[in-house]
């Protein structure tokens, strides 16, 4: 499950307003605002609906990994193709250990 801070950050990354997120996730604007401001809790189903909606829009949620929770954007098709092209430009892969 995501946190209110992750929700707020993801909304900023995918550039969606609370009212638009509310319409798409079918969770009220007031509930989203309370969740983001940590002054209220939501049902698991509501949090999951918000998370699913934000993921559909390109957010990737990073679970606790020792450095905290996070959120980032998915690569778009152009960026993914560019990365794949760069990965293939290095020549042969060899053992890089120094004897």
CA 40 to chain centre: 21
| Residue 67 pLDDT | 75
CATH assignment, 4-87 = 1.10.260.40
Per-residue pLDDT reduced to its tens digit, 9-64:
999 999 999 999 999 999 999 999 999 997 668 999 999 999 999 999 999 998 88
Q: Residue 97, class by beta-carbon neighbours within 10 Å (0-12 exposed, 13-18 middle, 19+ buried)?
A: exposed
36: left (phi over 0), alpha (psi -120 to 50) or beta: alpha
Mean pLDDT of 2-7: 92
What is the per-residue pLDDT for 78? 75
The pLDDT, as a whole number, for residue 91 is 55
Q: Measure Cα distances from 70 to 7, 26, 37, 76, 96 in Å.
A: 10, 24, 17, 19, 32
For residue 84, is pLDDT > 70? no
């Amino acid at each position: 499950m995501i946190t209110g801070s992750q929700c707020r950050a993801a909304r900023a990354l995918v550039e969606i307003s609370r009212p638009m997120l509310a319409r798409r996730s079918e969770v009220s604007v007031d509930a989203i605002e309370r969740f983001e401001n940590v002054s209220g809790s939501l049902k698991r189903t509501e949090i999951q609906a918000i998370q699913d909606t934000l993921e559909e829009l390109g957010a990737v949620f990073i679970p606790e990994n020792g450095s905290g929770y996070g959120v980032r954007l998915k690569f778009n098709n152009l960026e993914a193709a560019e990365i794949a092209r760069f990965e293939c430009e290095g020549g042969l892969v060899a053992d890089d250990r120094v004897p």
